[in-house]
């Protein structure tokens, strides 16, 4: 990632939770999760967006945006990919095209020695499936696993966290057997089929970690108007 002006970006993975709508008054629904959703990200987990979250921040005028990647991580030895561009994208006009983006990159350190660099919120240099590094001032930079930035401005945490998503995956593959992974203990066809989840279920992801990128920012930096019901949509991409 030495060239900060990539003119083309390869589309890898986009729009897992494209429909999160947030207003100044409150925040709407979560729609989907996508762990290991294609063979390419299954064998390259650092390209894999797991989930995107948006929820109220530490004060009423702030919002937290989160992307998780790389789950499931067993243990604590994991690093962000220094050759990938991680982005959180915001549409505040209702046309599903990004109006502002956060661009997050990492240096070539490993584990807890790694550094994160955040640019944004800033207008994108390209939109849609083309991803270009913007020529803009670095807003936050520092070590992973640390709360960085300003509590009244852009605040960032990037690092290892327990994967907050939960699923009874063993039962899921009995319900939808064609979604089985190609490798690992759950790749073998089950002799049983099922129509529904178990009660109580078993959270397969409970012992596993993810790499999280968490950005808290004043809502005013994301929305396009000062109206009390101003809304935005948020999604994430990873590209190279
Ligand atoms: Ca994914
Ligand atoms: Ca837009």
Query: Does 188 fall in a domain?
Result: yes
Q: Which residues surround ligand 2, an ion (CB under 5 A)?
A: 91, 93, 95, 97, 99
Where does residue 134 rank: exposed (0-12), middle (13-18), buried (19+ CB within 10 A)? middle
152/199 same-domain check:
no
132/33 same-domain check:
yes
184/137 same-domain check:
no
179/221 same-domain check:
no
Predicted TM-score (pTM) of the model is 0.83
32/70 same-domain check:
yes
**Range scoring the smallest mean pLDDT among 45-49, 76-80, 158-162, 190-194:** 190-194
Per-residue 3-state assignment (H helix, E strand, C coil) for 128-179: CCCCCCCCCCEEEEEECCCCEECCCCCEEEEEEEECCCCCCHHHHHHHCHHH
pLDDT of 144 > 90? The answer is yes
Residue owning tokens 């002799």? 191
57/153 same-domain check:
yes
| Beta strand pairing call for 148-149 and 49-56 | unpaired
Q: What does the pLDDT look like over 94-129, one tens digit per residue? A: 999 999 999 999 999 999 999 999 999 999 999 999
176/58 same-domain check:
no
- How far away, in angstroms, is 102 Cα from ligand 2 center? 15
199/178 same-domain check:
yes
- How far away, in angstroms, is 7 Cα from ligand 2 center? 21
Supply the range of the domain harboring residue 173: 167-204
Ligand nearest to the CA of 98: 2
Ligand nearest to the CA of 48: 1
Residue owning tokens 């009660």? 199
pLDDT of 190 > 90? The answer is no
21/59 same-domain check:
yes
> Cβ(13)–Cβ(237) under 8 Å?
yes
- How far away, in angstroms, is 160 Cα from ligand 2 center? 31
45/153 same-domain check:
yes
- How far away, in angstroms, is 21 Cα from ligand 2 center? 13
- How far away, in angstroms, is 67 Cα from ligand 1 center? 11
67/96 same-domain check:
yes
Query: Does 4 fall in a domain?
Result: no
195/146 same-domain check:
no
Mean pLDDT in the chain?
85
Give the total number of structural domains in the chain: 2
Q: What does the pLDDT look like over 215-231, one tens digit per residue? A: 999 999 999 999 988 99
- How far away, in angstroms, is 169 Cα from ligand 2 center? 36
Where does residue 232 rank: exposed (0-12), middle (13-18), buried (19+ CB within 10 A)? buried
């Amino acid at each position: 990632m030495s060239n900060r002006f990539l003119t083309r970006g390869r589309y890898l993975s986009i729009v897992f939770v494209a429909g999160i709508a947030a207003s100044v008054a409150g925040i709407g629904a979560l729609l989907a999760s996508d762990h290991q959703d294609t063979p390419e990200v299954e064998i390259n987990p650092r390209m894999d967006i797991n989930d995107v979250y948006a929820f109220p921040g530490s004060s009423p005028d702030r919002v937290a945006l989160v992307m998780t990647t790389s789950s499931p991580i067993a243990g604590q030895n994991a690093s962000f990919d220094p050759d990938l561009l991680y982005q959180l994208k915001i549409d505040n006009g209702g046309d599903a095209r990004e109006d502002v983006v956060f661009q997050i990159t990492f240096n070539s350190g490993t584990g807890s020695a790694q550094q994160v660099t955040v640019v944004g919120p800033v207008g994108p240099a390209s939109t849609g499936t083309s991803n270009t590094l913007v020529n803009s001032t670095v807003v936050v930079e520092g070590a992973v696993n640390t709360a960085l930035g300003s509590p009244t401005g852009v605040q960032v945490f990037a690092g290892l966290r327990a994967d907050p998503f939960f699923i009874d995956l063993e039962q899921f593959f009995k319900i939808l057997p064609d979604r089985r992974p190609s490798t690992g203990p759950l790749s073998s066809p089950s002799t049983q089929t099922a129509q529904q989840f178990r009660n109580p279920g078993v959270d397969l992801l409970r012992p596993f970690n993810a790499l999280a990128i968490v950005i808290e920012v004043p809502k005013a930096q994301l929305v396009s108007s000062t109206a009390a019901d101003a809304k935005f949509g948020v999604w994430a991409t990873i590209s190279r």
